[in-house]
Amino acid sequence: MVSGRRRVVVIGGGIAGVSIAGELSHNHDIVLIEAEETLAHHTTGRSAAVLLPGYGNKIVRELTQRSITLYEERSEKYEVELLEPRAFLQIAGADRADALRDIVSKTPTMHMIDVEDAFTLCPYLQRDAVAAAAIDETGSAIDVASLHQTYVREIAANGGVIVKNKRVDAIAPGNPCVVSSGDETWECDLVVNAAGAWGDVVAAMANCKPVGLMPLRRTIFTTKVDPALGRGPMVFGTPEAYYFGLDHGVLLGSPADETLSEPCDARPEEIDVAQAIESVNEVTTFNIRSIDTAWAGLRTFAPDRSPVVGSRSDEPNFFWFCGQGGYGIQMGPGLAEYGAFLVRGQVPVEHGAAQVDVDRVSPNRFP
Ligand SMILES: Cc1cc2nc3c(=O)[nH]c(=O)nc-3n(C[C@H](O)[C@H](O)[C@H](O)COP(=O)(O)OP(=O)(O)OC[C@H]3O[C@@H](n4cnc5c(N)ncnc54)[C@H](O)[C@@H]3O)c2cc1C
């Protein structure tokens, strides 16, 4: 067990960086460094903002389940509703109905519903496009900006420092480690790598082995629809080839694309937006012809799609907090709690954190 108050530099001001910095700020001296002028400029500011307990692999689901409790505690503490119930409807054409039944049999939070009930919930669905439907009523919409802000407040309340507009460009490992951005330097006992798509780039600066992170671009567009339609469930295709949802006059849609990218400020490609529109038009009566906005972000996965949390045995002063993929918001609070226990040298599961085997998330699982 690592005792005493340590100086920790966290690199990255997305949800990963602020959440673990917030947790650690209670008993460590924190400096969080973000390359952009605004925090959450990259993936965190570009998500679909949904929490789906049945989404992702077993590790992601465990972390999401624990997060739901932490979301509730955080909502109460900061007097803000971070989660709002939102149902998820998954639909399938005749050729995919068996595939949907198979998904439902493996997802305890979902159940099949009569297709007529799907049309009642979403009167804009094309009748001939839906042969089977299932629902998950345990999902939520997340207030991502407020969640992020609760951690920023926590860091500040505990005397932590947030430095914006400084891109870390060198890390000299050692005791202490020296983190630099241009002429400025920060000495610390531990570096936390929460750099999202840039996780392997930051590791290389510290002469640490990469884990093989894959930044995968995903696109979202929005367009206006009749506000009287209110807020429908999020609707997913089978397989996950598109999703869309209505929110009081705005339809948000995605082709659920996963295009390998370099770490960068991701931009939407016209072809992906067109694909998303076509998919939504195929299963609805909206007949979308134009959009209001489109954006893209990088969902960054480790090769096995589980997060990367911990230090390699031979690199003890470099702590990975990467590979949040498409679940970094929904499992964010649980993952930050888990990571903070590991930084403190504690066994997370013995302290009420998510029931996740340390070896399954450790960077040591990669060569
Ligand atoms: C279209 C889309 C939809 C999504 N929908 C959902 C969803 O509904 N639910 C969900 O849970 N998740 C969703 N996600 C995934 C979720 O957004 C991510 O898992 C999460 O935001 C990752 O957070 P992060 O902090 O790791 O990355 P980021 O938010 O990208 O933060 C990393 C930060 O590190 C900084 N950085 C990098 N290098 C340096 C350096 N050298 N020096 C200083 N700073 C540096 C970057 O500037 C950046 O701000 C979605 C993602 C996308 C793209």
Provide the percentage of residues in the chain whose pLDDT is more than 70: 99
Best probe residue, ligand 1, of 148, 240, 299 (max atoms within 8 Å of C-beta):
299
Q: What is the CATH number of the domain that holds 106?
A: 3.30.9.10
Q: Is the CB of 42 under 6 A from ligand 1?
A: yes
- Contact 7/32 with Cβ under 8 angstroms? no
Q: Which of 190, 259, 174 is nearest to 219 (CA)?
A: 259
Spatial distance between the Cα atoms of 259 and 330, rounded to a whole number of angstroms: 22
Give, using CA atoms, the residue closest to atom 27 of ligand 1. Answer: 196
Q: What is the pLDDT of residues 203-243, one digit of tens each?
A: 999 999 999 999 999 999 999 999 999 998 999 999 888 99
Spatial distance between the Cα atoms of 277 and 288, rounded to a whole number of angstroms: 7
- pLDDT band at 95; cut points 50, 70, 90: very high
Give, using CA atoms, the residue closest to atom 35 of ligand 1. Answer: 12
Give the model's pLDDT for residue 2. Answer: 53
Give, using CA atoms, the residue closest to atom 51 of ligand 1. Answer: 47
Q: What is the pLDDT of residues 272-305, one digit of tens each?
A: 999 999 999 999 999 999 999 999 999 999 999 9
Are residues 74 and 155 located together in one domain of the fold? yes
Which ligand 1 atom sits nearest the alpha carbon of residue 322? 26
**What's the mean pLDDT in 114-126?**
97
Are residues 218 and 279 located together in one domain of the fold? yes
Spatial distance between the Cα atoms of 133 and 220, rounded to a whole number of angstroms: 23
The tally of domains found in the chain comes to 2
Domain boundary among 259, 278, 301: 301
Phi-psi sector, 261: left (phi>0), alpha (psi -120 to 50), beta: beta
Ligand 1: centre distance to CA 196 (Å): 5
> What 3-state class would DSSP assign to 320?
strand
Say whether pLDDT at 61 is over 90. Answer: yes
Within a domain: residue 270? yes
Are residues 152 and 297 located together in one domain of the fold? no
Six-digit token string for 247: 């929110």
Question: Count of CB atoms within 10 A of residue 256's CB?
Answer: 20
Give, using CA atoms, the residue closest to atom 19 of ligand 1. Answer: 328
Within a domain: residue 202? yes
**Spatial CB neighbours of 99, under 8 Å, sequence gap ≥ 6:** 92, 238, 239
Write the DSSP string, 104-119.
Answer: HHH-TTEEEE-HHHHH
Say whether pLDDT at 353 is over 50. Answer: yes
Six-digit token string for 321: 């907090």
Within a domain: residue 335? yes
Q: What is the pLDDT of residues 306-324, one digit of tens each?
A: 999 999 999 999 999 999 9
Ligand 1: centre distance to CA 366 (Å): 22
Spatial distance between the Cα atoms of 308 and 241, rounded to a whole number of angstroms: 26
Say whether pLDDT at 246 is over 60. Answer: yes
**What's the mean pLDDT in 22-46?**
98
Are residues 161 and 127 located together in one domain of the fold? no
Give the model's pLDDT for residue 3. Answer: 53
Q: Quick one: DSSP state of residue 125?
A: B
- Contact 129/283 with Cβ under 8 angstroms? yes
* Among the ranges given (4-8, 19-23, 92-96), the one the predictor scored with the smallest mean pLDDT: 4-8
**Residue 328 lies in domain:** 7-79+143-212+303-365
- pLDDT band at 1; cut points 50, 70, 90: very low
The pTM of this model reads: 0.97
Six-digit token string for 61: 């689901």
> What 3-state class would DSSP assign to 3?
coil
**Spatial CB neighbours of 159, under 8 Å, sequence gap ≥ 6:** 25, 29
Give, using CA atoms, the residue closest to atom 52 of ligand 1. Answer: 47
Give the model's pLDDT for residue 196. Answer: 98
Six-digit token string for 38: 């605004």
Are residues 200 and 307 located together in one domain of the fold? yes
Within a domain: residue 2? no
Q: Is the CB of 89 under 6 A from ligand 1?
A: no
Are residues 198 and 255 located together in one domain of the fold? no
Q: What is the pLDDT of residues 121-150, one digit of tens each?
A: 999 999 999 999 999 999 999 999 999 999
Which H or E element spans position 210?
none
Domain boundary among 248, 270, 301: 301
Q: Is the CB of 215 under 6 A from ligand 1?
A: no
Give the model's pLDDT for residue 93. Answer: 96
Are residues 206 and 236 located together in one domain of the fold? no
Q: Is the CB of 35 under 6 A from ligand 1?
A: yes
Are residues 65 and 150 located together in one domain of the fold? yes
Ligand 1: centre distance to CA 86 (Å): 22
Q: What is the pLDDT of residues 156-209, one digit of tens each?
A: 999 999 999 999 999 999 889 999 999 999 999 999 999 999 999 999 999 999
Give the model's pLDDT for residue 5. Answer: 83
Q: What is the pLDDT of residues 252-277, one digit of tens each?
A: 999 999 999 999 999 999 999 999 99
Q: What are phi and psi of 290, to 5 degrees?
A: -145, 165
Best probe residue, ligand 1, of 221, 329, 330, 335 (max atoms within 8 Å of C-beta):
329
